[in-house]
Amino acid sequence: MTSNSLNIKNSIEKDVLEWFLDNGIDEILAHEPVNKTSAVAPPLSAPSPVSPPSSSHEPLMGTAQALIEARALAKQAQTLEDLQKTIADFNGLPVKKTAMNMVFCDGNPKADVMVIGEAPGADEDRQGKPFVGASGQLLDVILKRIGLTRSAQNSHEATYISNILNWRPPGNRTPTPDEMKIALPFIERHIQLVSPKILVLVGNTPMKTLLNTKEGIKKMRGKWHTYQTITPDFGTLDHEIFALPTFHPAFLLRNPYEKKTVWQDMILLQEKRKDLGLLS
């Protein structure tokens, strides 16, 4: 290839990459491109490959082994800094490999109210902080209406925020059941170390994971539940932690008429803070 044709090729590739980025395509989900406009439809029942390709979210060390390690490592963490480093070093969750940054927490760890979401999205992955994109901005507005902010120094007015999964799943897919299982000891240790009075669980993933239920958010929201540690050998909590499931702010962005429902949940939260003497 002449240097002139090489320059033209590079410039076309650069234009194509820029076009991808402009259109929000910022990651590769498969090694080979798939032409979805191809006129040739795949056979209805493709022959099974001799050895099936491993799924991209299969834990490298196997779920059982990853779970054993996650439990042992999480239990050893004595401080939030320990836990953050432990999660950063843990290799049992392959989503770590596709994520840009680990997302551990934001807000005041002394807060009475800890908010737990599902997993970082693209903005959170870029900035290394939970709930900083559009849904995070809506979450902040909702919390501010009841006097809670991430930056408050006073524990009664502060919030602390984290997620079930500390790494962004590729393409923002929902964490798999295996990922939730493996991440559970880390978020449970996180809760133990922060020791909040109240957990606000936004969306199905944190609710199902931490309340150990198969029920959906529509059935579980609007009432109080008691959070109890699920991971074996983690001991008991030194005080009751009240848990309030509510809709995820990303769901509210798609279904704005449900904001009134979340407002009802925020009224419950205010009542609980008042009952517990946490309103300053």
**Contact residues for ligand URA (CB under 6 A)?**
117-121, 124, 130-131, 135-136, 163, 250
| Least distance (Å) between residue 206 CB and ligand URA | 8
C-alpha dihedral (134, 140, 141, 146), degrees to nearest 10: 160
| Least distance (Å) between residue 99 CB and ligand URA | 12
The CA angle 82-86-90, to the nearest 5 degrees, is 175
| Least distance (Å) between residue 1 CB and ligand URA | 45
- Closer Cβ to ligand URA, 163 or 192, answer by number: 163
Q: Nearest-CB residue to ligand URA?
A: 117
| Least distance (Å) between residue 118 CB and ligand URA | 4
| Whole-number Cα distances in Å, 150 to 39, 86, 190, 203, 264 | 52, 24, 17, 20, 22
Residues 140, 252 contacting (CB under 8 angstroms):
no
- Closer Cβ to ligand URA, 71 or 183, answer by number: 183
Q: Which of 188, 44, 23, 28 is nearest to 116 (CA)?
A: 188
| Least distance (Å) between residue 194 CB and ligand URA | 16
Q: Which two tokens stand for residue 186?
A: 């880390």
| Least distance (Å) between residue 136 CB and ligand URA | 6
- Closer Cβ to ligand URA, 75 or 206, answer by number: 206
